[in-house]
């Protein structure tokens, strides 16, 4: 789950990383009371989860006289379609130099990877693509608590040594907060020291519980409802509902719909051991999307009981046509039950998707 800038800054600050003085406001009139502590120049930053926020008009400069008006202006904006509900108002830093530091997970080496660049700011990712030598990177053994000094020297090159405790603190936050990504861009030097001018933190969805995060904000309401039943669920914008078991097979079913020029309405992986109850909930959930005209159920696996699945589909009793492809135990019984209630069970996923296309072309 992605944290917002102000939340990430709160976390980083807990690790001793300096962040600009700032307050979170939810209405334009709140800004005035905080101006004395923030100084003459302030930055107003919309707390929205979108990339390229600055370019999209989500960050505005102001001074004492203009702060209230600027806040009103920013609250009225939508940043890439996302309304602004919260603004972080911060003191304006005197920046000497901008750097970029980011810690992510390197799938290839199976270790954390730390990226550092001598230039920070909004364009760094484009620059890095154009010139790989602009970004230095080191991988760190996950068995180590700190970035060892020799790797830190390699990372920093000629950059000031005073950055190194900040980067090491970021590495601690990355480890202890179960981060998939911890980033400061720009990391800035000022006459008062090193500051995290921006902050990004993505927490591993598999670690939300132990991080004390009760609700995954990245999910829609229906996606959260699905999660309660143990389904993996993603909403799309087509007309053909999809229920599968296993992420790969379900994705493959979606792809097959696209291959035949159809549009899938969703991704739903019911998981292992799909019994009557789970199948019923899955079918009802997918049928609850108004756009869905037909549902393809594609289940495969040694231990899937086809008679249970059939009973679940029948018990759901939904309006959209349900087309079934399944293989497992008690296949014949499942086929018989479905046929009795007028459902079609087909031999392959190709045939099932083609049949669905006839209902919802």
Partner 1 sequence: MIYGDRNLGVIVQNITGRQGTFHTELMNAYAREVGGRGVVAGVAPGKGGREVHGVPVYNTVREALREHDATASVVFVPASAACDSVMEAAHAGIDLAVVITEHIPVHDVMKALAYAKLHDCTVIGPNCPGLLSPGECKLGIMPAHLATRGNVGVVSRSGTLTYEVVDELTRAGIGQSTVVGIGGDPVIGQTFVDALARFEDDPQTKAVVVIGEVGGNLEEEGVRSTDLPVVTYIAGVSAPPEKRMGHAGAIIEGGEGDARSKVRRLSALGIPVASRPSEIPGLIREVL
CB of 42 to partner 1, least distance (A): 30
- Which of 349, 352, 357, 360 is close enough to bind partner 1 by CB under 8 A? 349
Measure Cα distances from 201 to 141, 210, 277 in Å. Answer: 20, 16, 38
What is the CA angle 42-7-156, rounded to 5?
80
Between residues 163 and 323, which has the closer beta carbon with respect to partner 1? 323
Residues 6+ apart with CB under 8 A from 208: 1, 214, 216
- Binding partner 1 (rule: CB under 8 A), the pick from 10, 41, 95, 111 is 111
User: With binding defined as CB under 8 A, does residue 110 bind partner 1?
Assistant: yes
Name which of 100 and 267 has its Cβ closer to partner 1: 267
> Closest Cα partner for 18 from 200, 193, 168, 202?
193
82 lies in the binding site for partner 1 (CB under 8 A): no
Q: Which is nearer to partner 1, 287 or 300 (CB)?
A: 300
State the Cα–Cα distance between residues 358 and 323, nearest whole angstrom: 11
Q: CA torsion 114→118→120→125, rounded to 10°?
A: -60
> Of 170, 98, 153, which is closest to residue 127 (Cα–Cα)?
98
Does residue 123 touch partner 1 according to CB under 8 A?
no
* Closest C-alpha among 246, 250, 277, 248 to residue 266: 250
From the list 14-22, 31-39, 82-90, 346-354, the region that binds partner 1 by CB under 8 A is: 346-354
**Which listed residue (66, 164, 190, 252) binds partner 1 by CB under 8 A?**
252
Q: State yes or no: residue 206 binds partner 1 (CB under 8 A).
A: yes
Least distance to partner 1, CB of residue 272, Å = 8
Of 122, 236, 287, 318, the one binding partner 1 by CB under 8 A: 236
Q: What is the 3-state secondary structure (H, E, C) of 19-36?
A: CCCEEEECCHHHHHHHHH
| Of residues 165-184, those binding partner 1 (CB under 8 A) | 175, 178, 180
Q: Provide, rounded to whole angstroms, the least separation between the CB of residue 310 and partner 1.
A: 18
Instruction: Give how many residues touch partner 1 by CB under 8 A.
Output: 47
Angle ∠(347,271,211) on CA atoms, nearest 5: 160
Binding status of residue 210 toward partner 1 by CB under 8 A: yes
Window 137-156: residues binding partner 1 (CB under 8 A): 141-143
Query: φ, ψ for residue 256 (rounded to 5)?
Result: -65, -35
User: Residue 49 and residue 60: Cα distance in Å, rounded?
Assistant: 17
CA pair distance 175, 199, nearest whole angstrom: 16
Question: Rounded to a whole number, what is the largest CA-CA distance in the chain?
Answer: 79
**Residues with catalytic function:** 100, 183
- In the structure encoding, which two tokens stand for residue 165, read together? 């405790």
Give φ, ψ of 177 to 5 degrees: -95, 15
According to the binding rule CB under 8 A, does residue 267 interact with partner 1? yes
Binding mask 294-323 for partner 1 (x = CB under 8 A): ------xxxx--------------------
24 vs 56, which CB is nearer to partner 1?
Answer: 56
Rule CB under 8 A: which residues touch partner 1?
Answer: 105, 107-108, 110-112, 125, 141-143, 175, 178, 180, 204-207, 210, 232, 234, 236, 244-252, 254-259, 264, 267, 269, 300-303, 327, 348-350
């Amino acid at each position: 789950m992605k944290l917002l800038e102000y939340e990430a800054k709160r976390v980083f600050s807990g690790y001793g990383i300096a962040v600009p003085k700032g307050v979170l406001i939810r209405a334009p009139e709140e800004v005035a009371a905080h101006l004395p502590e923030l100084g003459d120049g302030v930055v107003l930053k919309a707390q929205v989860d979108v990339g390229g926020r600055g370019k999209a008009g989500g960050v505005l400069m102001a001074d004492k006289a203009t702060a209230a008006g600027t806040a009103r202006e920013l609250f009225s904006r939508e940043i890439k379609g996302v309304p602004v509900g919260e603004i972080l108002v911060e003191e304006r830093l005197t920046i000497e130099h901008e750097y970029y530091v980011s810690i992510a997970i390197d799938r290839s080496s199976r270790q954390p990877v730390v990226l550092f660049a001598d230039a920070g700011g909004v364009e760094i990712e484009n620059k890095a693509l154009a010139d790989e030598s602009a970004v230095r990177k080191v991988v760190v053994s996950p068995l180590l608590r700190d970035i060892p000094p020799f790797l830190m020297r390699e990372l920093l090159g000629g950059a000031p040594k005073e950055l190194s405790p900040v980067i090491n603190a970021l590495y601690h936050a990355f480890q202890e907060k179960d981060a998939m990504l911890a980033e400061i861009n720009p990391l800035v030097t000022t006459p008062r020291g090193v500051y995290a001018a921006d902050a990004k933190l993505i927490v591993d969805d598999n670690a939300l519980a132990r991080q004390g995060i009760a609700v995954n904000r990245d999910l829609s309401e229906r996606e959260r409802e699905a999660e309660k039943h143990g389904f993996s669920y993603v909403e799309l914008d087509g007309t053909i509902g999809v229920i599968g078991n296993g992420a790969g097979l379900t994705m493959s079913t979606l792809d097959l719909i696209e291959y035949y020029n159809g549009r899938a309405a969703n991704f739903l992986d019911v998981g292992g051991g799909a019994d009557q109850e789970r199948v019923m909930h899955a079918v009802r959930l997918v049928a609850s999307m108004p756009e869905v005209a037909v549902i393809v159920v594609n289940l495969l696996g040694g231990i899937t009981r086809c008679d249970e699945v059939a009973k679940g589909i029948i018990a759901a009793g939904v309006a959209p046509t349900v087309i079934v492809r399944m293989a497992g135990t008690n296949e014949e019984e499942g086929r018989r039950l479905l046929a009795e209630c007028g459902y079609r069970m087909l031999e392959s996923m190709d045939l099932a998707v083609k049949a669905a296309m006839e209902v919802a072309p």
